[in-house]
């Protein structure tokens, strides 16, 4: 997983700029904060879950080895355990243990407005049809840090849901 630039009005900072719009102008010219040990671990865990989930989904489709690449690239047992659990949760709860009939992606760049810097990278998104044949979206943002992040009323998830819906609408569909 490569380091990515964040938009000025990114999904990951939506909880700040939706509550204090003036903060955008106050912080835009400040140098980036140095990463903490928690941020470093989260970055490693995101990279590990990206690799593990990608390889696991390929295993479901074609029988390839689902574990070898992550264990070769990530030398941190705790991070591998966190990523493995995230992969299992995604498989069981998001994919409902099958990939057929779904569109999905990882680490895709979702853009609301490029000029305003309104973009971010989604850890995992899935489009599928529910039991009433309605198209539904699922968005996952993996968290591995030391700070509790609520799932309900989450500005980052709302940002990504809006961006995904606009992408689907641009293709002439809806969710």
Condensed to tens digits (0 to 9), the pLDDT of residues 136-164 reads: 999 999 988 777 888 889 999 999 999 99
CB within 8 Å of 28: residues ≥ 6 apart: 8
Over 70: is that where the pLDDT of 6 sits?
no
Q: 32-76, pLDDT tens digit by residue? A: 778 888 888 888 999 999 999 999 999 998 888 888 899 899 999
| Chain center to CA of 173 | 22
CB within 8 Å of 12: residues ≥ 6 apart: 6, 120, 156
**Count of beta carbons in the 10 Å neighbourhood of residue 59:** 13
State the DSSP code for 174.
-
- How many Å apart are CA 21 and CA 53, to the nearest integer? 36
pLDDT the model gives residue 94: 94
Q: 81-124, pLDDT tens digit by residue? A: 999 999 999 999 999 999 989 999 999 999 999 988 889 999 99
Please report, for residues 20, 72, 124, 157, the alpha-carbon distance to residue 14 in angstroms, rounded to integers and kept in the order given: 10, 35, 18, 9
- How many Å apart are CA 89 and CA 103, to the nearest integer? 18
């Amino acid at each position: 997983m490569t380091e990515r630039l964040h938009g000025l009005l990114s999904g990951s900072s939506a909880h700040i700029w939706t509550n204090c719009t003036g903060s955008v102008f106050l912080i835009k010219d400040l140098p980036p904060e140095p990463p903490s040990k928690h941020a470093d671990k989260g970055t490693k865990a995101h990279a590990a879950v990206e690799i593990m989930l990608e390889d696991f989904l390929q295993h479901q489709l074609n029988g390839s080895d689902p574990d070898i690449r992550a264990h070769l690239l990530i030398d941190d047992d705790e991070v591998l355990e966190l990523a493995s659990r995230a992969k299992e949760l995604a498989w069981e709860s998001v994919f409902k243990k099958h990939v057929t009939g779904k569109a999905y992606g990882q680490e895709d760049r979702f853009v609301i407005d490029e000029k305003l810097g309104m973009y971010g990278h989604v850890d995992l998104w899935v489009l599928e049809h529910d039991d009433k044949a309605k198209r539904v979206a699922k968005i996952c943002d993996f968290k591995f840090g030391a700070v509790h992040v609520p799932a309900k009323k989450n500005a980052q998830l709302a940002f990504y849901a809006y961006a995904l819906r606009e992408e689907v609408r641009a293709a002439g569909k809806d969710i």
